[in-house]
């Protein structure tokens, strides 16, 4: 009997990490509800899912609209079937000093990056809780723990997502629910957002190195959906930011004040008049990758160890047991010179 395909919803599915996540689930046979604003990117994602042998439903949706997100969830279930996994990945940002930010920019970034995840979670829970099964994956960031200059709106939204997710997790545990929620904290990724994000920086925006390809994050999201735990850190740079902020936050404040302005910019003056996607999607299919392929890493050894921590733990335990056994036997065996002395 043929196995029933997983039904997955991915927000921010048209480009960047969301697009890479679509491909990761599609190559494993999932049927996918694709949610984003960009119609061209959604159509490209739909074609990729179908080329992999699956089914896809492209639903142009602004996740800042709660009613639209609920309608999209209903459409996915009507067309594809009961939702097994919901991935909240949609985001928006503005690169700008706080003193130059506008109130409506904070409102917009919060509505997309934070409230979009809340609305997606509510739509998923409405369907998963009565069935007592399902997984919600919140796509977070190292910036959910450690804020950096020039991205105050985005950092605040990711902090809010972290707080919301912790509350939801506690409630699910209290209720004994089999619905799982997990958060995947991302490092810097090579996505198209740096070419379309609204920016007041003097030079072109870039992710803070080290930079990873979005496929690294997509593999982590797929794993988290099927092996949920409290959270995952993708890459040592992400874990280092989280741990460093816990140990020495004031030191990091001063360090980032001196280094993180330049770290978020690279060669070439920014075009102040270029279009951005804060309010409206930009036309075209932008795919998963940004402009940093030559500098982006395709693998993360830290992530591999994290995803295989049980295997690594078993291996370490086996080595420890072998060493203890060897030591015991060595102590029990009498030295060769003692045997010779007894024979004499």
Catalytic residues: 154
Residue 17 and residue 43 in contact, taking contact as beta carbons nearer than 8 Å: no
Unique residue bearing structure tokens 């995947």 = 184
Side-chain-side CA neighbours of 4 within 13 Å: the count stands at 8
Residue 44: strand pairing partners: none
Q: How far is CA 268 from CA 13, 21, 94, 205, 271, in A?
A: 29, 31, 19, 10, 9
Residue recorded with tokens 């065996």? 333
Taking a C-beta distance cutoff of 8 angstroms, is the pair 217, 16 a contact? no
6-26 exposure pattern, b = at least 16 Cβ within 10 A, e = fewer:
bbbbbbbbbbbbbbbbbbbbb
Instruction: Tell me the helices (H) and strands (E) count for the chain, helix number first.
Output: 13, 14
Contacts for 234-237: CB closer than 8 Å, 24+ residues apart: 234/184, 234/185, 234/186, 234/187, 234/300, 234/303, 235/187, 235/210, 235/300, 235/302, 235/303, 236/300, 236/301, 236/302, 237/142, 237/187, 237/188, 237/210
Contact 160, 110 (CB under 8 A): yes
């Amino acid at each position: 009997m043929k196995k029933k395909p997983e039904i997955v919803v991915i927000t921010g599915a048209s480009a960047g990490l969301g697009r890479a996540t679509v491909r990761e689930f599609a190559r494993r046979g999932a049927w996918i509800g694709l949610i984003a604003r960009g119609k061209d990117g959604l159509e490209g994602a739909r074609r990729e899912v179908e080329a992999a042998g699956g089914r896809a439903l492209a639903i142009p949706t602004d996740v800042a609209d709660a009613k639209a997100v609920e309608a999209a969830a209903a459409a996915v279930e009507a067309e594809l079937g009961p939702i097994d996994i919901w991935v909240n990945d949609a985001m928006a940002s503005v690169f700008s000093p706080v003193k130059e930010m506008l109130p409506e920019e904070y409102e917009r970034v919060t509505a997309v990056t934070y409230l979009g995840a809340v609305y997606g979670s509510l739509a998923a829970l409405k369907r998963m809780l009565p069935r007592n099964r399902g997984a919600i994956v919140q796509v977070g960031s190292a910036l959910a723990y450690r804020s950096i200059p020039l991205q105050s709106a985005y950092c605040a939204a990711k902090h809010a997502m972290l707080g919301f997710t912790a509350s939801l997790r506690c409630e699910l545990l209290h209720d004994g629910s089999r619905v799982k929620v997990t958060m995947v904290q991302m490092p810097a990724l090579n996505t198209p957002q740096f070419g379309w994000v609204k920016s007041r920086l003097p030079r072109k925006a870039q992710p803070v190195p080290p930079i990873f390809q979005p496929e690294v994050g997509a593999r982590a999201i797929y794993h988290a959906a099927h092996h949920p735990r409290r959270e995952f850190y993708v890459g040592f740079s992400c874990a280092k930011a989280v741990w460093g902020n816990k140990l020495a936050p004031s030191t990091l404040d001063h360090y980032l004040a001196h280094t993180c302005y330049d770290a978020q910019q690279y060669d070439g003056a920014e075009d102040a008049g270029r279009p951005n996607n804060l309010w409206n999607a930009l036309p075209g299919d932008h795919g998963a990758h940004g402009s940093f392929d030559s500098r982006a890493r395709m693998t993360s050894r830290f992530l591999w160890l994290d995803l295989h921590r049980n295997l690594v733990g078993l291996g370490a335990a086996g080595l420890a047991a072998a060493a203890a056994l060897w030591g015991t036997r060595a102590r029990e065996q009498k030295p060769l010179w003692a045997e010779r002395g007894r024979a004499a």
